[in-house]
């Protein structure tokens, strides 16, 4: 082997993986995957992997839209770890580096990638999106170009939050938010939470956040200049209009994916404001064009992210963003099945649950 390697890489002696065998059926087992190290790849010993709503949905439903789990698939796409081996042409990383990984690998020759829109490449291979295996396994081989070094002050747990955080930072970039903006974030799930953090980092003066779960709103309220609103008891529109002298919010981030919440987005937007659709609805949702026209609303849509991971790592390193309030529970790899059972019951008070290969 001409590539650089260390004794820590145990090869196929350490084949642990969390495999979604079929809808509702998970197992921990050896799952051989072709992991040939190419010249521009690194091999990574995984440390922490976050559980995403999409992983849980594949577990409970066996599919998301057109993506159907037809054969066993390893879950997980929010990961951090340590480089244990470098391909011979890798220059940006070295063995021993702590890293996080961007889970979508586009075809660099695709038109989308060449336009800089690599997240929109139809051939992108994204972890834990059938038929592509995820990263809830002891080791993974990944292109060095999509692997990012973590500074010492960024923990593995925070590193595994870069993936969801990137969605929020991308949403704020799409909004072209400016300092002093008033924002609304609809939905205080993990993506709503990272959007709050990103909006705050971009200088929002106030962020109205809605949900129906007080425990999530309590967490959101700690994140910055947030006014939490439980829409079961209070009116978002009243709060925003009172707080903005009847003008409305500059930006509304729809992070719930729920039709009724999305329908209200335009009602709290100021004339000439921006709506960013971030949450992915499972069904088509109605959209009132004439209401949006009267306000000349600018409407943006977000699909994952592109060119954002380094910004996220830098903000975690500088302290501009602190994701630690969002990490509410950590399981050992051995407890992975239990972790998914809990996650599938939408437990109150949990925002982001993670699985650690180091925890016992």
Q: Site residues (CB under 5 A) for Zn ion? A: 52
Question: How near is the Cβ of 24 to Zn ion at its closest, in Å?
Answer: 20
Long-range contacts of 215-222 (CB under 8 A, 24+ apart): 215/348, 215/349, 216/188, 216/189, 216/349, 216/351, 217/188, 219/188, 219/193, 219/325, 219/326, 219/328, 219/351, 220/185, 220/188, 220/192, 220/193, 220/196, 222/325
Nearer to Zn ion, 52 or 266 (CB): 52
Report residue 63 as tokens: 């599919």
Question: How near is the Cβ of 351 to Zn ion at its closest, in Å?
Answer: 13
Q: 45 φ, ψ to 5°? A: -85, 115
For CA atoms 147, 26, 23, 194, give the dihedral sign. Answer: negative
Nearer to Zn ion, 189 or 264 (CB): 189
Question: How near is the Cβ of 38 to Zn ion at its closest, in Å?
Answer: 25
Q: 314 by DSSP, 3-state: which?
A: helix
Nearer to Zn ion, 167 or 315 (CB): 167
**What is the CA angle 63-64-65, rounded to 5?**
110
Measured between alpha carbons, how far is 76 from 135 in angstroms, rounded to an integer?
5
Nearer to Zn ion, 86 or 167 (CB): 167
Question: How near is the Cβ of 35 to Zn ion at its closest, in Å?
Answer: 22
Nearer to Zn ion, 52 or 84 (CB): 52
C-alpha closest to that of 166 among 259, 101, 92: 101
295, with CB counted inside 10 A (0-12, 13-18, 19+), is middle
Per the document, the length of the chain is: 360
Nearer to Zn ion, 55 or 250 (CB): 55
Nearer to Zn ion, 52 or 140 (CB): 52
Question: How near is the Cβ of 55 to Zn ion at its closest, in Å?
Answer: 7
Secondary structure (DSSP) of 115-160: TT-GGG-TT-EETTBTTB--S-BSEEEEEGGGEEEPPTTS-HHHHT
Q: Which of the 8 DSSP states describes residue 357?
A: S
Are the C-beta atoms of 49 and 164 separated by less than 8 Å? no
Question: How near is the Cβ of 297 to Zn ion at its closest, in Å?
Answer: 28
**Looking only at Cα atoms, what is the longest distance across the chain?**
68
Give Cα 113 distance to the centre of its chain.
21
Nearer to Zn ion, 196 or 268 (CB): 196
Nearer to Zn ion, 93 or 194 (CB): 194
Measured between alpha carbons, how far is 266 from 277 in angstroms, rounded to an integer?
12
Question: How near is the Cβ of 236 to Zn ion at its closest, in Å?
Answer: 26
Q: Which of the 8 DSSP states describes residue 266?
A: G
């Amino acid at each position: 082997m001409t590539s650089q390697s260390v004794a820590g890489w145990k090869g196929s002696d350490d084949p642990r993986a969390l495999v979604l065998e079929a809808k509702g059926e998970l197992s921990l087992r050896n799952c051989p995957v072709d992991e040939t190290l190419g010249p521009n790849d690194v091999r990574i010993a995984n440390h922490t992997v976050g559980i995403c709503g999409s992983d849980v949905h594949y577990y409970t439903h066996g599919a998301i839209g057109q993506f159907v789990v037809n054969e066993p698939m390893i879950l997980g796409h929010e990961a951090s770890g340590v480089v244990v081996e470098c391909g011979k042409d890798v220059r940006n990383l070295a063995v021993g580096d702590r890293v996080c990984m961007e889970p979508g690998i586009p075809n660099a020759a695709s038109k989308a990638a060449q336009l800089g829109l690599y997240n929109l490449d139809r051939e992108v291979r994204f972890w834990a999106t059938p038929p592509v295996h995820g990263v809830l396994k002891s080791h993974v081989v990944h292109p060095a170009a999509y692997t990012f070094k973590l500074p010492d002050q960024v923990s593995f747990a925070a590193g595994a939050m870069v993936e969801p955080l990137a969605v929020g930072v991308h949403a704020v970039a799409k909004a072209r938010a400016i300092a002093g903006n008033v924002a609304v974030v609809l939905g205080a799930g993990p993506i709503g939470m990272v959007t709050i953090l990103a909006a705050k980092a971009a200088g929002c003066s106030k962020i109205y956040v809605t949900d129906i779960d007080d425990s999530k709103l309590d967490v959101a309220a700690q994140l910055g200049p947030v006014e939490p609103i439980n829409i079961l008891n209070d009116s978002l529109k009243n709060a925003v209009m009172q707080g903005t002298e009847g003008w409305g919010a500059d930006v509304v981030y729809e992070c719930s994916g729920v039709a009724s919440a999305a329908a209200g987005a335009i009602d709290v937007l100021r004339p000439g404001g921006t709506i960013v659709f971030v949450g992915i609805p499972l069904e088509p949702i109605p959209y009132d064009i004439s209401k949006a026209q009267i306000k000349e609303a600018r409407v943006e849509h977000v699909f994952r992210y592109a060119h954002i991971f380094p910004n996220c790592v830098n903000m975690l390193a500088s302290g501009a963003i602190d994701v630690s309030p969002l990490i509410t529970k950590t399981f050992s790899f051995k407890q992975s099945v239990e972790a998914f059972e809990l996650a599938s019951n939408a437990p109150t008070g949990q925002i982001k649950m993670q699985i650690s290969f180091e925890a016992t």
